[in-house]
Amino acid sequence: MSKLVVRSSAFAAVVAVVALMTGLFAGPASAHSALIGSSPEQGAKIATAPDRVVLTFNEDIKAAYATLVVVGPDGNYWQKGDPAVAGAEVSVPLQGLGQAGEYKINYRVTSADGHPIEGQVSFELTAASDGQPGQKADDWQPESDHGVKAWMFIVGGVVVVLLIAGALALMVAKRRR
């Protein structure tokens, strides 16, 4: 019986080490949300200002922490109000647009799995419009990261492995007595 306990303990220790190593060296998951479309589209040249800009992702987006701003060639914001999230779409109304030139849609959203996604889509207004700009945009900086970090899972895995190893060590010690 003693050899069986030793072998079982050794097997459990090997499994624990393999699980730990797998967790530490596994690559990051790549199944996160991604931007799949926008209106206006990336690089589009448009003559009239749209009523709103819309970004479409490949899966639902969380409404919390969504940021969507439109910055014109004059360095001002052109969105009106806060972004609206409806499933996989995030949109914000515009207060018209102004001078002709490049407009940038800067976004930072949180996917359904908690992963933050940020980026920029640009389009060109080819004819000046009579919209009223919002406040001056400082260099756009996304909010702090609200996503789930991989290190949290690694630390959790290490704690679980240590607890299992400790429990096995106690069982072996009790059986030896």
Taking the C-alpha atoms of residue 142 and residue 119, their distance in angstroms, rounded to an integer, is: 9
Of 48, 11, 50, 64, residue with least CA distance to 128 = 48
- Per-residue buried b or exposed e for 118-144, using 16+ beta carbons within 10 Å of the residue's own CB: eeebebebeeebebebbeebeeeeeee
**CATH number of the structural domain 35-146:** 2.60.40.1220
- The predicted model gives 147-157 an average pLDDT of 66
pTM equals: 0.62
Give the single-character DSSP code of 69: E
Give the single-character DSSP code of 141: -
Of 157, 150, 149, 64, residue with least CA distance to 108 = 64
pLDDT per position as a tens digit, 7-63: 565 565 556 565 655 655 555 555 678 999 999 999 999 999 999 999 999 999 999
